[in-house]
């Protein structure tokens, strides 16, 4: 099968289009013929080797974390899916590889595709949808009447998280450029801070939760918009000790993570708020709940551009510019 692979970690390198063997189908696996895959900044970071200590992949490996397609084979222990089912998923770490014609995934990571979406639209959802769900529903326990600050509202995670937060009944603030203000307001944002003109730290206060996706300076400032007891969930780092424990990292790496997050954890304690790092995980049951929200009309996909499969490197380069509004998708079949 054709697939785009990482041969070596390189900040300026490109993926190689290669002929790869069709994936092995384990007992609990479904083999999916890939129709579409989305591109994420996570793909770029893995390609450059930024996560090689915590996500060690044996090269060459196939990149890609979002998929929508059709089940063409099932393992002997699979009970939830059958051949012909249209599905979508974010395969678990260690088994990624959606930039390919086929992928085998554990059925626990997979859900039926929302019926009202195209394959390209469905492929745009899993990683950002699970990230937003795990941050806002599980970590923040966001409730009706609470206030949440979601950074970078026009990005992939932002466009989904704004809609989810509004569905949960929260008041939503976000940052966006003037050109993206109409988009994020249309998704449900109540307060939009133009990051090119205003400092959100001086505009926002008394928030119950913050979803941080930006740099260390923004992270530090975000703590100040929370009210006592508020929660800051960061998807851009720094990793905290709890993440190290969950990943089963060795003692030295866990100590490094403790040092990297020591400053922000100490400041959070002084302010009477909590900080946690979220590295989303594959979860098919959560994707099923997200599919129900999409089918009800509560959430819609936001797709910026669709690239052909052979232009996967161009799609990745476009995502790296940071200019995409919503998600970037590759049409494979």
Query: How much is the pLDDT for 295?
Result: 98
Please check whether the domain covering 2-124+301-331 is classified as CATH 3.30.420.10. no
Mind listing the pLDDT tens digit of every residue in the chain (333 residues)?
999 999 999 988 899 999 999 999 999 999 999 999 999 999 999 999 999 988 999 999 999 999 999 999 999 999 999 999 999 999 999 999 999 999 999 999 999 999 999 999 999 999 999 999 999 999 999 999 999 999 999 999 999 999 999 999 999 999 999 999 999 999 999 999 999 999 999 999 999 999 999 999 999 999 999 999 999 999 998 999 889 888 888 999 899 889 999 999 999 999 999 999 999 999 999 999 999 999 999 999 999 999 999 999 999 999 999 999 999 999 999
Residues 70/33, Cβ–Cβ less than 8 Å: yes
Using CA atoms, how far apart are residues 311 and 331, in angstroms rounded to an integer? Answer: 10
Using CA atoms, how far apart are residues 239 and 223, in angstroms rounded to an integer? Answer: 16
Name the residue ranges covered by the structural domains of the chain: 2-124+301-331, 127-277
Query: How much is the pLDDT for 225?
Result: 98
Looking at the domain covering 127-277, what would its CATH class be?
Answer: alpha beta
For the whole model, what pTM was predicted?
0.97
Nearest Cα neighbor of 99 from 315, 265, 300 is 315
CA torsion sign, 52 to 22 to 4 to 60? positive
């Amino acid at each position: 099968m054709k697939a785009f692979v990482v041969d070596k970690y390189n900040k300026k390198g490109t993926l190689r289009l290669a002929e790869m063997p069709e994936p092995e189908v384990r007992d609990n696996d479904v083999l999916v013929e890939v129709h579409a895959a989305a591109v994420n900044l996570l793909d770029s970071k893995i390609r450059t080797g930024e996560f090689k200590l915590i996500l060690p992949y044996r090269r060459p490996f196939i990149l890609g974390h979002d998929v929508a397609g059709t089940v063409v084979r099932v393992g002997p222990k699979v009970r939830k899916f059958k051949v012909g089912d249209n599905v979508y998923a974010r395969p678990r770490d260690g088994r990624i590889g959606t930039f390919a014609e086929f992928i085998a995934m554990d059925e626990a990571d997979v859900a039926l595709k929302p019926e009202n979406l195209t394959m390209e639209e469905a492929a745009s959802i899993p990683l950002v949808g699970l990230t937003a769900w795990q941050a806002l529903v599980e970590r923040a326990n966001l409730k009706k009447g609470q206030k949440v600050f979601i950074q970078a509202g026009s990005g992939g995670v932002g466009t989904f998280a704004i809609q989810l937060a509004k569905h949960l009944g929260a008041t939503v603030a976000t940052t966006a450029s003037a050109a993206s203000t109409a988009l994020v307001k249309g998704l449900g944002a109540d307060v939009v801070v133009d990051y090119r003109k205003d400092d959100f730290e001086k505009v926002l206060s008394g928030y119950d939760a913050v979803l941080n996706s930006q740099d260390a300076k923004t992270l530090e400032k975000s703590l100040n918009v929370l009210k006592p007891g508020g929660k800051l969930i960061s998807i851009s780092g720094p990793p905290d000790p709890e993440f190290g424990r969950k990943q089963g990292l060795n003692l030295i790496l866990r100590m490094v993570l403790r040092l990297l997050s020591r400053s922000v954890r100490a400041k959070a304690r002084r302010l009477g708020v909590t900080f946690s790092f979220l590295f989303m995980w594959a979860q098919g049951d959560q994707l099923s709940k997200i599919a129900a929200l999409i089918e009800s009309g509560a959430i819609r996909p936001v797709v910026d551009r669709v690239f052909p499969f052979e232009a996967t490197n161009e799609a990745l380069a476009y995502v790296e510019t940071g200019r995409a509004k919503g998600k970037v998708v590759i049409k494979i079949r």
